[in-house]
Amino acid sequence: MDELTCIFSSLLLCCLLATSASLEHSSGTDLKTYIVHVLPNPIVSNSEDWHRSFLPPPQHIVSVVEPTTPAERLLYSYRSVSAFAARLTEQELRDVERRPGFVSAYPDRMVPLLTTRTPEFLGLYSDTEQGLWKDSNYGEGTIVGIMDTGIAAGLPSFQDNGLLPPPPARWKGVCEFNASSLCNNKLIGARNFARGLNAMNNHDKITAAAPPSDTEGHGTHAASTAVGMFVDGASVDGQAGGTAVGIAPRAHLSVYRVCAPRGCATSDIMAGIDAAIGDGVDVISLSLGGSSRPYYRDGIATSSFAAVASGIFVSCAGGNSGPKASSLSNEAPWMLTVAASTVDRNVRTTVTLGDGQRFDGESLYQPTDFPPTQLPLVYPGSTFSSAAYCSSGSLSRVNVTGKIVLCDTGNVGRVAKGKAVKNAGGAGMIIANRKVEGYTTLTDPHVLPASVVSYTDGLKIKSYINSTTSDAKASITFKGTVTGSSVLAPVVAYFSSRGPSKADRNILKPDITGPGVNILAAWPFDIGTPAAKFNIISGTSMSTPHLTGVVAVLKAAHPDWSPAAIKSAIMTTASRTTNNGSMIFDQNMNKADFFAIGAGHVDPVAASNPGLVYDLSPADYVPYLCGLNYTDSQVTTIVHKAIKCADYGPADLNYPSFMVFVSHGSSVTVTRTVTNVGAAGSSYSVRITEPVGVSVTVQPDTLSFSQANEKAQFIVTFTSDRSGSSGSSYSEGHLTWVSADGGDISVKSPIMVGINGGGNM
Ligand SMILES: *[C@@H]1O[C@H](CO)[C@@H](O)[C@H](O)[C@H]1NC(C)=O
Ligand SMILES: *[C@@H]1O[C@H](CO)[C@@H](O)[C@H](O)[C@H]1NC(C)=O
Ligand SMILES: *[C@@H]1O[C@H](CO)[C@@H](O)[C@H](O)[C@H]1NC(C)=O
Ligand SMILES: *[C@@H]1O[C@H](CO)[C@@H](O)[C@H](O)[C@H]1NC(C)=O
Ligand SMILES: *[C@@H]1O[C@H](CO)[C@@H](O)[C@H](O)[C@H]1NC(C)=O
């Protein structure tokens, strides 16, 4: 992992990867936590007894209730997946592997929360996605399960205010807060899972009996983004007041604390998902995830499969390791993999140079008394390269008194740079993005007048400083919160992880992008003046709960849609354009490719009326997994029942996007089936935008449906036009079913073709 990724995606990620790597290499008689998958045993009625029978002898007789005593090896006996988590020595693991019924085992690992954090927030955020609220009654009746750092119960975002009905009859969850008043008809469940974390013996031990309070903030932020109630009069230091609200404000919330501030043990995440399935949630939201691995060694993927098999939607963060290629987390096709992009709002500051050049930037700190006069401008990095980041102490040899100081992002936090500049006597600060961050500017509560500018603008400012030597000047003026068409959005965030998928290169990932930059939502702690319990943070951790909320309102509007149907509806109606009509940009202001945005940006209103969906049943994943050349036991690990791949023929996964590889001059054919979820008696014709170098034919090219829920199959052939040329490349196009009845329904799928011409792709 390179330095930039480390600092900018998350310092934690690096620590955690280092931790898990060392854990996986420890040996000898040390106890280590393993996730052990076994065949279901229909004869033993209690699955925990069956799981215990695999453990070293004392374990199947001792029924220990207190799970944290060292003697207890069984951390979790899962019910939704045929697996358990246990602490074993390597020798004991080898004994377990010899037992009849054993399927597979792999070590537990820590995965990070997927936030790039800004330390504080002084802002207010209100979503504008109101259209679907009417159809879905704001998500009423659905239950959203959040796997995260717990929750600051009692905040206004999590009150029912007497406005919500009790949870539906299927609800079986529990509230572990000992003051039961903290749970209500909004927050209906709250549980704590920390055995895996504690067994890893890191610094964040959580008392098993502790309530699932959020001492970090991440879980509170995610929960309020997805389902927070309307909170009027949330005010911001120096900014206008307004209303904060989640995407599905009438949905119920159940919280599973499976993460500590430093990250989450996979065994705890699996326990949270296991509980959520039993409790009766409709949507599970995971703003966390580690580096890619095969599905059969990824407990999040195997437990998510069980959730989807129970009809529960699983919405997952795609990761903050972008813009590097193949940097995604949570790639399984039964998960929704969410990227992050900007919203049409910034808190603007404008830098004006002595020569009249102007650059718009961002800062949450918006002083009203900072004079707009030109001050001397200095870039310490041009004198001492070590001072370029304005870290504490680095400015001692540079005269910054009364000046505006230009600093590069990196090495230390953005707010910390401002503190160093202020301590050294500086009057103001401009922070220039590095190349990797491009145009993604993050909004922070700086301690002095400041503006964060893009990489390109930073270069122009540096070149101005170079050319004017000693008398460079600049002013900073404050424009407050700017929304709407003057802020180009969505633009993909630099940190948002990119495809292609490592786990299966034949599935296009990520699936979708949503708002994940400078997102305001509830926070456990007071921030700013006047004190307010809100914070602004960025990451795929923030875009994921937006999608989770969208899923909740879709589920409320269409209770009969399967998880795959909802996912298809979200993907085939996604928007591909920014608010000025151009195609969505990436962090460099180039057209974002499908490895950055998948099908595009979520459009919740359109998703409620998709016309056709690419549906899937849980059984459809079995031939897909066998087609990956997984062994029988690998497939069994994922689907939780004994599978013989020889019993299954090849089958294309009915995915709503197309990702194929063709060799020069040859063809590939795939089959898809669409289901009519629109009006009876509708028909569609196909429209193709061919990828460069590839011709695409569809058979048949029109589809007619006389009834609702009728299915129709079609075959798509991709042929590489080029012959003889060498070199490999990716090429993008679209396949769209357009309603022929004068309706305005377009069922759009992205096409990504890898054209093989020698060499690996
Ligand atoms: C609630 O939990 C705290 C901490 O575990 C404990 O000190 C307190 O006595 C509990 N209160 C009640 C009413 O059980
Ligand atoms: C620092 O720069 C300011 C403004 O140019 C100047 O007035 C001051 O004398 C300088 N201080 C030192 C120690 O050079
Ligand atoms: C400014 O000048 C320095 C030293 O001559 C040079 O290394 C740097 O590339 C210049 N920067 C810009 C943006 O022109
Ligand atoms: C949208 O804005 C971008 C960036 O300013 C610009 O390059 C592009 O031409 C604009 N597109 C349209 C259609 O105006
Ligand atoms: C599975 O193995 C077959 C035969 O070796 C090969 O043709 C195919 O490409 C493999 N599939 C994948 C997804 O690796």
Q: Give residue 507's pLDDT band: very low, low, confident or very high (50, 70, 90).
A: very high
- The reported pLDDT for the residue numbered 59 is 57
Pocket of ligand 3 (CB under 6 A): 382, 459, 462-463, 466
pLDDT in tens, 631-668: 999 999 999 999 999 999 888 999 999 999 999 889 99
How many angstroms separate the alpha carbon of residue 645 from the centre of ligand 5? 14
| Whether the CB of 582 sits within 6 Å of ligand 4 | yes
The answer to whether 362 touches 487, Cβ cutoff 8 Å, is no
pLDDT in tens, 661-688: 999 889 999 999 999 999 999 999 999 9
Q: Which ligand is located closest to the Cα atom of residue 427?
A: 2
Write the single-letter amino acid at 26: S
Q: Give residue 139's pLDDT band: very low, low, confident or very high (50, 70, 90).
A: confident
Residue 241, pLDDT above cutoff 70: no
| Whether the CB of 401 sits within 6 Å of ligand 2 | yes
How many angstroms separate the alpha carbon of residue 547 from the centre of ligand 1? 36
- The reported pLDDT for the residue numbered 58 is 61
Give 213's DSSP letter: B
Q: Can you tell me the distance from the alpha carbon of 430 to that of 449, in angstroms, rounded to the nearest whole number?
A: 9
E strands along 62-203, which residues?
74-77, 83-88, 102-107, 110-111, 143-148, 187-192
- The reported pLDDT for the residue numbered 526 is 83
Long-range contacts, 65-72 (Cβ 8 Å, 24+): 66/208, 67/195, 67/208, 68/195, 68/198, 68/208
621 SS3 class: helix
Q: Can you tell me the distance from the alpha carbon of 591 to that of 192, in angstroms, rounded to the nearest whole number?
A: 43
How many angstroms separate the alpha carbon of residue 581 from the centre of ligand 4? 8
- The reported pLDDT for the residue numbered 758 is 52
| Whether the CB of 385 sits within 6 Å of ligand 4 | no
Contacting residues for 593 by C-beta, under 8 A, at least 6 apart? 586, 730, 732
Say how many Å lie between the first and final Cα of the chain, rounded: 21
- The reported pLDDT for the residue numbered 364 is 86
- The reported pLDDT for the residue numbered 29 is 61
The answer to whether 307 touches 270, Cβ cutoff 8 Å, is no
Q: Can you tell me the distance from the alpha carbon of 400 to that of 409, in angstroms, rounded to the nearest whole number?
A: 18
Q: Which ligand is located closest to the Cα atom of residue 629?
A: 5
Q: Whose CA is nearest to atom 7 of ligand 2?
A: 401
Q: Whose CA is nearest to atom 7 of ligand 3?
A: 382
pLDDT in tens, 440-470: 999 888 899 999 999 999 999 999 999 997 7
How many angstroms separate the alpha carbon of residue 345 from the centre of ligand 1? 43
For residue 565, CA distances in Å to 130, 242, 336, 608, 705 come to 22, 35, 12, 11, 17
Q: Give residue 77's pLDDT band: very low, low, confident or very high (50, 70, 90).
A: very high
- Kindly report the number of other CB atoms within 10 A of residue 435's CB atom: 13
For residue 45, CA distances in Å to 52, 134, 364 come to 13, 46, 58
pLDDT in tens, 289-298: 999 999 999 9
Q: Which ligand is located closest to the Cα atom of residue 426?
A: 2
Q: What is the 3-state secondary structure (H, E, C) of 482-535?
A: EECCCCCCCEECCCCCCCCCCCCCCCCCCCEEEECCCEEEEEEEEECCCCEEEE
The answer to whether 422 touches 392, Cβ cutoff 8 Å, is no
Closest CA to 28 of 85, 70, 72, 91: 91
Q: Which ligand is located closest to the Cα atom of residue 180?
A: 1
| Whether the CB of 629 sits within 6 Å of ligand 5 | yes
Q: What is the 3-state secondary structure (H, E, C) of 32-87?
A: EEEEEEECCCCCCCCHHHHHHCCCCCHHHHCCCCCCCCCCCCEEEECCCCCEEEEE
State which ligand 5 atom lies nearest to the alpha carbon of 628.
Answer: 13
Residues that are catalytic: 148, 218, 541
- The reported pLDDT for the residue numbered 537 is 85
User: What mean pLDDT comes out for the span 364-383?
Assistant: 92
How many angstroms separate the alpha carbon of residue 582 from the centre of ligand 4? 6
Give 230's DSSP letter: P
Radius of gyration of the chain (CA): 26
| Whether the CB of 581 sits within 6 Å of ligand 4 | yes
512 has which bridge partners?
338
- The reported pLDDT for the residue numbered 93 is 95
540 SS3 class: helix
DSSP letters, 720-731, are: E---S----EEE
User: What mean pLDDT comes out for the span 541-565?
Assistant: 96
Mutation test residue for ligand 5: of 625, 629, 631, the one with most atoms within 8 Å of CB: 629
Closest CA to 243 of 230, 254, 252, 225: 230
Domains of the chain plus CATH, in order, are 3-107 (no CATH), 118-341+489-610 (3.40.50.200), 345-483 (3.50.30.30), 657-755 (2.60.40.2310)
Q: Can you tell me the distance from the alpha carbon of 136 to that of 255, in angstroms, rounded to the nearest whole number?
A: 22
Mutation test residue for ligand 2: of 399, 404, 469, the one with most atoms within 8 Å of CB: 399
Give percent of the chain above pLDDT 70.
Answer: 87
| Whether the CB of 425 sits within 6 Å of ligand 2 | no
Q: Give residue 13's pLDDT band: very low, low, confident or very high (50, 70, 90).
A: very low
Q: Which ligand is located closest to the Cα atom of residue 650?
A: 5
269 SS3 class: helix
534 has which bridge partners?
522
State which ligand 4 atom lies nearest to the alpha carbon of 488.
Answer: 2
How many angstroms separate the alpha carbon of residue 157 from the centre of ligand 1? 24
Which structure tokens are listed for 742?
A: 């004068």
pLDDT in tens, 249-283: 899 999 999 999 888 999 999 999 999 999 999 99
For residue 285, CA distances in Å to 148, 157, 219, 317, 346 come to 9, 18, 10, 8, 27
The answer to whether 48 touches 60, Cβ cutoff 8 Å, is no
How many angstroms separate the alpha carbon of residue 301 from the centre of ligand 1? 36
| Whether the CB of 69 sits within 6 Å of ligand 5 | no
How many angstroms separate the alpha carbon of residue 697 from the centre of ligand 5? 25
How many angstroms separate the alpha carbon of residue 62 from the centre of ligand 1? 29
Q: Whose CA is nearest to atom 11 of ligand 2?
A: 399
Mutation test residue for ligand 3: of 385, 461, 463, the one with most atoms within 8 Å of CB: 463
pLDDT in tens, 466-489: 999 779 999 999 998 888 888 899
738 SS3 class: strand
The answer to whether 529 touches 474, Cβ cutoff 8 Å, is no
| Whether the CB of 396 sits within 6 Å of ligand 2 | no
Q: Can you tell me the distance from the alpha carbon of 9 to that of 516, in angstroms, rounded to the nearest whole number?
A: 13
Q: Give residue 115's pLDDT band: very low, low, confident or very high (50, 70, 90).
A: low
| Run of H or E residues at 423 | helix 414-423
Residue 319, pLDDT above cutoff 50: yes
Residue 617, pLDDT above cutoff 80: yes
Phi/psi at 121 (5° precision): -140, 140
Sheet holding 612-613, edge to edge: 612-613, 667-676, 711-720, 694-699
Contacting residues for 385 by C-beta, under 8 A, at least 6 apart? none
Give 229's DSSP letter: P
- The reported pLDDT for the residue numbered 7 is 27
